[in-house]
Amino acid sequence: MHIAMIAAENGALQGGKVGGIGDVIRDVPIALSERGHHVSVITPGYQSLAKKNASSLLASVEVVFCGKPETVTIFRVDTPSVEVSENAGEPTHYIFEHPLFASCGEGAIYCNDHEGPFATDAHKFALFCLAVCQSIVESRFESIDVLHLHDWHAALVAVLRRYMPAFKSLRAITTVYTIHNLSLQGVRPLTGHYSSLHSWYENLTLDLSLLQDPNYRDCVNLMRSGINLSDRVHAVSPNYAQEILLASDYSRGYIGGETLEKDLQRVSAEGKLFGILNGCDYRKPPAPHRSRAQLLDLIEKTLMSWVGDQFVVPAAHFYAQLRIAQLRRRRKPIPTTLTSVGRVTAQKARLFIEEVSDEKGGRVSAIDSLLHNLGDGLFIMIGSGEEKYEHFFTATMAKHNNFLFLQGFSEDLADALYAAGDLFLMPSSFEPCGISQMLAMRAGTPCIVHAVGGLSDTVVQGVNGFSFSGDTQQEQAENMLRAVHSACATTLNPELWLALRRNASNARFSWDEVITRYINDLYAPLL
């Protein structure tokens, strides 16, 4: 088969990844190629990727976007940055370029938008999807058997395939839609704004009942469009595929279908919804163990590279440098080190700010309580994201000598932290699949996780890690603290602790098993 994957990110390219989508788009094409299938990966270049990655100009396509002619150039990558097996055919990576794709600066994949929710990103991805469809009907690629669309950024391919007469031929191609994060839906107005469905495209005769946002009937919901207009729908873990069939209930801290549960219930009843856990690449060995001094050297080197990119030193970097200096002077051993790697957003960090009772009967944040009880232990967190959470963790670092918050991201440092901790903490409010827990386990580090989504599918309480749950956000936060306390106590039992580390290290979530499900469930010819 020839499978074309359409996505906003591609971790096989230097500068092409922000999060988990990039990991999937890096790993799945390689695994499919090793099964003898040909995979073409198509992403925007953001006026950067074609320059950062050795590539050749292949062609250009002409489209009419927002009533004006636009030219999108297509580059083929000569040498991806990810190695493949000698026995496998290599995936082919294509980069689409247009100045609009760098609306928020060269190389910026997503925008911190001041034009309105999703406005700038949806606008550029609307042009990207149009160019993808045009390139396929112009036979810029060999005949395609499966179109695999990833998240809302690629959903407009499904809309154009169904409703634009020029792309009628695409309806013969099996189209699969993967939900990586249902909470980001790409909602835009139907009309009346430069970044709206009818401004982007002419000649669309729509069935709005399949596209409209459930809450805002004058808006298109791109996530919903992808779900309703694709032949098969894929959620990235079995447990997440069940969670999203129920309505979200924020009072209980439950994140489910996020207003799209009725569409997902229908798709599930039709046998078109599949929950398949993402895999992890075990060919790459985990980072080597580092001494405290070696780890601090790497942290400081990374921190200095971040500072060098800015005119003003952020408060987070200032306090981090002070904390590093304090840790270098420390002579006492650190009994327990917790680590955490991930975006600092409500999804990943909401439970840390939930208020809980302290020893004096007052109210403190959950992370304040955690750090107080951690005592001589150390908690190292790396990540960036929403300003609200960045400021919160910076202020927390200023108060607690046993907390080091590194505001930014470095893959090398993240890999080192997966291996450096005694425990890895991942208290996501929801988690479609998660890769960080798999990478920590690969390094032999037991995880403490909220038992939701893919975290529930990978971490087994008392076997290879620790988990908690709760019927409200406060209960979840309180149970998180109990789980951390219990996990730290377990590190004092050498026999039990060694068994947990061994089980974590031996856990396998291989892409080989995942790809069998892709081929049999997602890609099999339609009956």
The reported pTM is 0.93
What is the structure's pLDDT at 527? 47
Give residue 117's pLDDT.
Answer: 85
Which residues have CB under 8 Å from 35's CB, separation 6+? 515, 519
Residue with tokens 């994201």: 385
For residue 86, pLDDT beyond 60: no
String of DSSP letters for 426-448? E--S--SS-SHHHHHHHTT--EE
Q: What is the pLDDT of residues 276-289, one digit of tens each?
A: 999 998 888 888 88
Burial 452-472 (b: 16+ CB within 10 A, else e): bbbbbbbbeeeebbbbbebee
Give the tens place of pLDDT for each residue, 171-227.
999 999 999 999 999 999 999 999 999 999 988 889 999 999 999 999 999 999 999
Measure the CA angle with vertex 26, ends 22 and 31; round to 5°.
Answer: 140
What is the number of H-type helices and E-type strands within the chain? 19, 19
Which has the minimum average pLDDT: 2-11, 152-161, 310-319, 438-447? 310-319
Strand 187-189 to 465-468 pairing: unpaired
* Tokens, residue 141: 């690629």
pLDDT at 146: 97
Domains parsed from the chain with CATH numbers? 2-279+512-522 (3.40.50.2000), 292-507 (3.40.50.2000)
Q: Mapping DSSP to helix (H, G, I), strand (E, B) and coil, where does residue 405 land?
A: strand
Which of 430, 527, 504 is CA-nearest to residue 280? 504
String of DSSP letters for 443-470: TT--EEEESSHHHHHH--BTTTEEEE--
Q: What percent of the chain has pLDDT over 70?
A: 98
Is residue 88 pLDDT above 60, yes or no?
no
Q: What is the DSSP letter of 95?
A: E
Q: Which residues pair with 149 in a beta bridge?
A: 6, 177
Mean pLDDT of 36-42: 96
DSSP 141: S
The 10s digit of each residue's pLDDT in 464-521 is: 999 999 999 999 999 999 999 999 999 999 999 999 999 999 999 999 889 999 999 9
313-355 residue pLDDT tens: 899 999 999 999 999 999 999 999 999 999 899 999 999 999 9
